[in-house]
Amino acid sequence: MNRITRLLTVCAALLVIVPAANADWSENFDSYALGSSMDGQGGWAGWGGDPGYDGYVTDTYAYSTPHSMAAIPTTDIVQPFSETSGEWEIIGWIYIPSGATGLQYFIMLNTYVPPTYNWSVQLEFDSDAGILEDYYSTTSTSIIFDSWTEVRLEIYLGANTYDIYYDDVFLASNAWQTAGVNEIAALDIFSSGGSNVYWDDFTLIEQGGALEQSTWGHIKTIMQ
């Protein structure tokens, strides 16, 4: 059996014995009633427990049909987490229609125990200027209007760092925390009076488990 044949055989076996990365959380808004408030559904809650900071289920736009969440001018809605170690990838898809105005934010916190908070990520979508800016590095790029666009973070809690990608293009790298804790505590979708934008298909997935690393090392040995 030559090396290529052996590699294909091992890869086929891995499809059976190696589990996929653990999807700790996902949200596509499709199971909720059209027009319903997200506060109190799927673990979402207004900032600090205030239901007035709501987001709403809509079918105006959807990355995966039929629904997404509309972040309206008063939205400040939070999904809590409790991840304390490991490497993680969080993805959300945003749709900003042309003609949108004001500021909308993608925020993550390492501490969210109201009234105690500590921020790790603040991505500002300034529709008036057409600019997405990372608050901590001040790195910016142009907003993509009228198209579903991926926002992705790769978070390395052990190294206390994270990388930001927008439309699959690297934007910046920052420390996860400087005055908080090395934990993933919450996602916050916040509007500072901005007009409606739309979010869909969030996932938080742990990356690089020990079994995955050791198995791919075995493949590399076979190829040699």
β-bridge mates for residue 142, sequence order: 131
Residue 145 DSSP symbol: -
Q: Measure the CA–CA gap between 192 and 187, rounded to whole angstroms.
A: 16
pTM (predicted TM-score): 0.84
Check whether 222 has a pLDDT greater than 50.
no
Sheet with strand 45-46: strands edge to edge: 45-46, 76-83, 184-191, 103-113, 116-126, 131-134, 140-142
Q: What is the pLDDT of residue 200?
A: 98
pLDDT, mean of residues 27-34: 98
Closest CA to 141 of 107, 164, 117: 164
pLDDT in tens, 135-172: 999 999 999 999 999 999 999 999 999 999 999 999 99
pLDDT, mean of residues 77-84: 97
pLDDT in tens, 110-136: 999 999 999 999 999 999 999 999 999
pLDDT in tens, 171-209: 999 999 999 999 999 999 999 999 999 999 999 999 974
